[in-house]
Amino acid sequence: MRARGLPFAAAVALAVAAPFVLSGCGAEGGLESAGATPTAIGPVRLWPDLPPATAPPLDYGETDTQSVPGISVPENDVRRVDPISVVRAEVKARPDTYSGADGMYEETARQIGRCVQEPAKCPVMRAYYRDLTGNGRDELIVGIRMPEQQVGVRVYLAEHGGLTRIMSTIDQVISVELAGRDVIVRASSAGIPGYEYRTAWSWDEQQRAMLPTRDEIVRVKPPGPSVPPAPEPRLVEPSASPAPPGSSPTPSAPAPSASDDLFAEGP
């Protein structure tokens, strides 16, 4: 005996159309239409007849890496090397280089040479460590203060018992941040008030170097006026006995004002 029911094709069509039927009924808890879907607009290629470039783009040195001469890294552990000695070795190897990835102001190079005698004037800042390459070991991140509010940021990779510089950039840096395995450099944007440059440097396995993978100009919110903190409430304990009649109460010391807190000198 043939079972009663719809043919297979009709059943499938009904199953597909069922949500739309339910949404048309407007039953409570049923599906509702989201309206017409806008047509997707794909990318449009401009000037498709332009011939391909015959020469590679200009090399800005992002992929330049340098081995640091005279620096050995026991067990490829960058924490066992002195960051100041690393920078001094680079200056010594290229003493007359004032531009590019190895660029160093003459004044800065002279100060680096006297970091041991004058540590307070040493432009090499505190070093940081982070695994930026994904090899399971930390890399060495060094910052160097330079004239005109510029900062040099350099990253070093330990390999084969030596040290390789895999990133070097100089800019008027606002801040440097670590996000995952990226080094994000925030720099002031000359000539565009209210904006700043943000460049994310990421490890590229093929080039074996840190590359500026994201570069953008970002609008920043100007800092608002600082609001002084309100003075904390003072707890006044009640007197043990009421004041005698006719006597004037002793005034309590006034609570410290917010302005006192703002101008108070530290220890």
pLDDT averaged over consecutive 10-residue blocks of the chain (267 residues)?
Answer: 46 45 53 76 88 71 81 96 95 75 84 93 96 97 93 96 95 94 91 91 95 93 63 47 48 38 31
Half-sphere exposure of 73 (CA within 13 A, CB side): 22
Give the SS3 label for residue 141: strand
Is 248 within the bounds of a domain?
Answer: no
Is 84 within the bounds of a domain?
Answer: yes
Is 50 within the bounds of a domain?
Answer: no
**Cβ 171 vs Cβ 187: under 8 Å:** yes
Number of domains in the chain: 1
| The pLDDT of residue 117 | 94
Is 4 within the bounds of a domain?
Answer: no
Is 76 within the bounds of a domain?
Answer: yes
For 90-107, what is the HEC assignment?
Answer: HHHHCCCCCCCCCCCCHH
| The pLDDT of residue 263 | 26
Is 16 within the bounds of a domain?
Answer: no
Is 100 within the bounds of a domain?
Answer: yes
| The pLDDT of residue 39 | 80
Is 246 within the bounds of a domain?
Answer: no
Give the SS3 label for residue 231: coil
Q: Which domain holds residue 202?
A: 66-219
